Amino acid sequence: MSSSSAYELLAQFDESIPEFDESLVSAVRGIAFWTAIALPFLYLPLLVTGLDSGATRIAFVALVVCNAVALRIGHAHGGDD
């Protein structure tokens, strides 16, 4: 393998990295978007049974925080960036 072909191979590899990164970012945004939509359905059983115990309150707050993070990450899914 000559040094020029090695450089060409490295150049092709460098060009493919941004495409991979963008597809990974897009996948993470999509997962976060749909997670943000699904998480509120998990609030219902907690609210129906009541937030009387400390564990239930912690679970509810954790779900709200997870939903906020998922909303923040997934807000650009499907939109024009």
Which range marks the domain in which residue 25 is found?
Answer: 3-74
35 assigned to some structural domain: yes
Q: Provide the whole-model pTM.
A: 0.67
Q: How many domains does one find in the chain?
A: 1
Tens-place pLDDT, residues 23-73: 888 888 899 999 999 999 999 999 999 989 999 999 999 999 999 999 988
9 assigned to some structural domain: yes
50 assigned to some structural domain: yes
Residue 36: Cβ-neighbour burial (10 angstroms; 0-12, 13-18, 19+): buried
80 assigned to some structural domain: no
81 assigned to some structural domain: no
59 assigned to some structural domain: yes
The pLDDT, as a whole number, for residue 3 is 59
Cα dihedral sign, 69-74-75-81? positive
The neighbour count for residue 70, using CB atoms within 10 Å, is: 19
pLDDT at 76 over 70: yes
18 assigned to some structural domain: yes
19 assigned to some structural domain: yes
